[in-house]
Chains A and B, each alone.
Chain A
Amino acid sequence: MLEEMTGAEMVVRALKDQGVEHVFGYPGGAVLPIYDALFHQEDLRHILVRHEQGAAHAAEGYARSTGKVGCLLVTSGPGATNVVTGLTDALLDSVPIVCITGQVPTHLIGSDAFQECDTVGITRHCTKHNYLVKTVADLPRVLHEAFHVARTGRPGPVVVDIPKDVQFARGTYARPRDNQHKTYRPRLKGDLGKIKAALALMAQARKPVFYTGGGVINSGRHAAMLLRELVHLTGFPITSTLMGLGAFPASDAQWLGMLGMHGSYEANLAMHDCDVMVCVGARFDDRITGRLDAFSPNSRKIHIDIDPSSINKNVKVEIGILGDCGHVLEDMVRLWRETASRADKSALAAWWRTIEDWRAKKSFSYRNSTEIIKPQYAVERLYAAVKDRNHYITTEVGQHQMWAAQFFHFQEPNRWMTSGGLGTMGYGLPAAIGVQVAHPDALVIDIAGEASILMNMQEMSTAIQHRAPVKVFILNNEYMGMVRQWQELLHGGRYAESYTAALPDFVKLAEAYGAHGIRCCDPGKLDEAIAEMIAAPGPVILDCVVSKEENCFPMIPSGKAHNEMLLGETAEDIGGVIDEKGKALV
């Protein structure tokens, strides 16, 4: 059906046709026609943020908690440059978002006009794809294509840059019938021959491990369910990256906890000692592998990934299966059953005994205190208080993020939103608002650090305006904790600029925004404070004052292998363990 309308109306119409209900954004000169079109309708709800970076992270939180494409709308120039961090974050964590940017009119492009920047040039490296729409005739196709590209294959951010004259121009709108792109056709089904070879390898395994990641969650809920089925069918142990938490329930006996730099002892040693590794939707990131040439030296590796460039990028694998996790897992479950495959029971039992010995180390243990709140204890108590509620967790970046990953146990996918690849401080609060907009009745908590939260603190105002009752749970140690930890371990305790000497009073700050503020310094009163936070009807900041110099363990020091990880009690030796070369790494 063809209809005549303006470019701005096409934007609103295309968003509705794509099923978008919420747009995060901030108006400005070059997007005024689109805001005018928004003004004339009721179906799309616009969430006004306080900084465009917040809009991008909110769209990310929205997308990751729903599985839908998140959408944001910003103006040209500074509007576009302010979303660059959010776009890069979404690119590294494969989050589907569509960002519509205004641009100066086509005849002014290149003239250094007011609020002009080369948006497609700037965002080319931090998007999956981007478009500058120079004529209204292209607009309907590009808008729909943008959603298609963002959502399918390995998801990611897409920018559509629309000059103001194109927003005013009239044209005919039609929703494209098919989404068959000329060149972009991601492959979903895995090669059956390779899947069979992978299953044969798994059936012979004596010390297998599943290593899973965010790809399982991106593939959809069905993929997480299939993963659970396959893990239970095989009886193999399973670990996951930070991004993949929740795909497999943390309460399950086969769960080893997160792996990597701050992962569990049993997960990392299982990775090191395994003979068959089944990687599902993870990408052998440096935070996972540690020292590459000592990474899982005796294993044969199977890698399932939708992105061909991820396979054999960092780690050479024996069987690389290109395809969507859900589709490949479906075939694996079916073929494992059909061929009545069995894992080697006695070998597996011996492997599990070894793993149980590692598990007995209790690598996440810490020394609790009755005097001062330990950050690990705070996360444990928070988990105990919210685990039976419908909850979603976001985080900022740093020590608190790792403690959240270690001590908060996720049972379901899409409940855990954190900035993994880019490590963006300031992600958690806007992301929590995005999650809350998508799930108005759920309990949404941003586990934060006092340094990170200040990076996008202004979004508290957004939460108030849009009645998003997010809870900000600050583990306040007055330091940029992870920076301080590295300075202690690697730089002789010279804490250059990692102490925040003039922190605001977070209770008063909450009140200034119109939120509820609570401070808690006493471990004995922590449960009470958490209960008050949960019970409050609106947004809350709970300033949880924790021990200042707690380090996050276990830790694989830079340049070390999985089996050289340090546990908490060996903390004093750590400075001597990292050599000069290790110190040069990030």
Chain B
Amino acid sequence: MPDSSTSHYPAAPKVEPVARHTLAVTVDNEPGVLARIAGMFSGRGYNIESLTVSETEHASHVSRITIVTSGTAHVIEQIKSQLERLVPVHGVRDLTIEGEAIERELALVKVAGKGEHRVEALRLAAAFGARTLDATLTSFVFELTGTTDEIDRFIAMMTVVGLVEVSRTGIAAMSRGAEGM
């Protein structure tokens, strides 16, 4: 890779600070729309850290996609413009620059163990406010909803007491206050 001083391509973004942004994208729920969006990210070399999608307005076939990505301010602007020019995209909102958005993730966490580990797992789950969805004599499945950081911490703890499996939804996000998208 030539360094930026001689490249006639855009300078590498290393000089500018890279920030994480959460984008809420409303799209027409037509076949292939997710591939279009994911493909735009991979084709242009952008990052996807988390992506969640589901239909939100059944009658009008509108889905909401929440994407967590990272880049310089310039790259984030490009990502938004590139998303907006896709034909089935209704709108793009950058929840990160609009103020502290609410971000939540749900995780299912399976742990297995006996004796002290089992008791400790249950104690930690209670401390984190996780629900117990399944219990056997040797295992639990917990459900935890929280920020990405909380879930990361919970999983780190569970690793010590016998983590078996994790399933996470990725981030759902919404802006604060009365205004809608």
Contacts and interface: CB of A to CB of B under 8 A. Distances in A.
A582 B74 contact: no
Contacts of A293: 4-5, 11
A292 B90 contact: no
A133 B120 CA distance: 56
Contact of A124 (B11, B32, B81, B82): B32
B8 A291 contact: yes
A291 B32 CA distance: 38
A559 B7 contact: yes
Interface in A439-489: none
Contacts of A128: 87
A581 B11 contact: no
B78 A313 contact: yes
Interface in B1-30: 2-11, 27-28
A312 B81 CA distance: 10
A582 B6 contact: yes
Contact of A291 (B6, B77, B78, B88): B6
A120 B2 contact: no
A129 B87 contact: yes
Residues of A in contact with B, size category: 20 to 34
A308 interface: yes
A369 interface: no
Interface string A552-586: 00000011000000000000000000010110110
Contacts of A111: none
A559 B2 contact: yes
A309 B81 contact: yes
A307 interface: yes
A581 B2 contact: yes
Interface string A180-198: 0111100000000000000
Given A124-B35, A183-B28, A309-B82, A291 B7 contact: yes
B85 interface: yes
A185 B106 CA distance: 36
A15 to B, nearest CB: 21
B57 to A, nearest CB: 12
A179 interface: no
A419 B56 CA distance: 43
A295 to B, nearest CB: 8
B157 interface: no
B81 A314 contact: no
B32 A120 contact: yes
A184 B87 contact: yes
Given A125-B39, A312-B74, A313-B78, A149 B8 contact: no
A521 to B, nearest CB: 39
B36 interface: yes
Contacts of A309: 78, 81-82, 84-85
Nearest to A316: B74
B51 interface: no
B88 to A, nearest CB: 6
A312 B77 contact: yes
A314 B87 contact: no
A290 interface: yes
Given A293-B4, A581-B2, A584-B2, A308 B84 contact: yes
A226 interface: no
Given A120-B32, A132-B31, A292-B11, A559 B6 contact: yes
Contacts of B77: 312
A289 interface: yes
B180 interface: no
Among B4, B9, B74, the most chain A Cβ lie within 10 Å of the Cβ of B9
Interface in B47-97: 74, 77-78, 81-82, 84-85, 87-90
B43 interface: yes
A381 B103 CA distance: 68
A312 B73 CA distance: 11
Contacts of B81: 308-309, 311, 313
Nearest to B61: A182
B85 A307 contact: yes
A289 B8 contact: yes
Contacts of A558: 8
A493 interface: no
A461 B32 CA distance: 39
A521 B11 CA distance: 47
A380 to B, nearest CB: 30
B8 A290 contact: yes
Contacts of B27: 183
Contact of B87 (A121, A183, A312): A183
A521 B96 CA distance: 67
Nearest to B91: A183
A286 interface: yes
A125 B9 CA distance: 21
Contacts of A289: 8
Interface string A413-428: 0000000000000000
A418 B39 CA distance: 28
B9 A286 contact: yes
A579 B85 CA distance: 38
Interface string A231-250: 00000000000000000000
Interface in A138-186: 149, 154, 181-184
A316 B11 CA distance: 12
Contact of B88 (A121, A183, A314, A581): A183
Nearest to A284: B10
Contacts of B8: 286, 289-292, 558-559, 585
A289 B11 CA distance: 13
A581 B10 CA distance: 15
Given A129-B87, A183-B88, A581 B35 contact: no
Contacts of B28: 182-183
Interface of B: 2-11, 27-28, 31-32, 35-36, 39, 43, 74, 77-78, 81-82, 84-85, 87-90
23 contacts: A120-B32, A121-B32, A125-B43, A183-B90, A184-B87, A286-B8, A290-B8, A291-B7, A292-B7, A292-B11, A307-B85, A308-B81, A309-B78, A309-B85, A311-B81, A313-B10, A313-B81, A314-B10, A559-B7, A581-B7, A584-B2, A585-B8, A585-B9
- Give me the 7 closest cross-chain CB pairs, A-B, nearest first: A309-B81, A581-B6, A559-B6, A129-B87, A581-B2, A308-B81, A184-B87
Given A183-B89, A584-B2, 7 more contacts: A124-B32, A125-B43, A132-B31, A183-B27, A307-B85, A309-B82, A314-B10
Interface of A: 120-121, 124-125, 128-129, 132, 149, 154, 181-184, 286, 289-293, 307-309, 311-314, 316, 558-559, 579, 581-582, 584-585
